[in-house]
Amino acid sequence: MSDSCGAPEGGVALADVNAGDQAVIQGTVTRGGQPLRGAHARLLNPSDDFVGEVATGEEGTFRFFAADGDWKVRVLASQGFTGEYPVTAEVGKVVDIQVDA
């Protein structure tokens, strides 16, 4: 299923991630301490250009695989929530973002 943004809803399980030879940016979106389904996480490059988007599923989670360097994750959720989170991705490491929407 997708919404008007075109991002498929589904989310990912974050418990078993091993970055290995990848740079991983992931996170969980919650509201009131509960996972928030249907929020959208967008990956932006340093020039604020859109790179990718995913929608959170039942567990409120999202994940991107990125190149080394500086990125920004923009989270959009219901009730007008927008949050931006600068991150630095590095091969072999997992960046974990916790968002209270």
pTM over 0.75: yes
Assess whether pLDDT exceeds 60 at residue 1: no
How do residues 19-56 score in pLDDT, each as one tens digit? 678 899 999 999 999 999 999 999 999 999 999 999 99
Reported residue count of the chain is 101
pLDDT score at 20: 75
| CA pair distance 93, 101, nearest whole angstrom | 25
3: helix, strand or coil: coil
**Domain-wise residue ranges, the chain:** 23-100
Assess whether pLDDT exceeds 80 at residue 8: no
pLDDT score at 4: 43
More confident residue, 22 or 61: 61
Assess whether pLDDT exceeds 50 at residue 3: no
Residue appearing with tokens 């916790």: 98
- Is the separation of the CB atoms in 75 and 29 below 8 Å? yes
- Is the separation of the CB atoms in 24 and 17 below 8 Å? yes
| CA pair distance 61, 39, nearest whole angstrom | 9
Considering the segment(s) 23-100 as one domain, its CATH architecture is: Sandwich (2.60)
Work out the mean pLDDT of the chain and round it to a whole number: 88
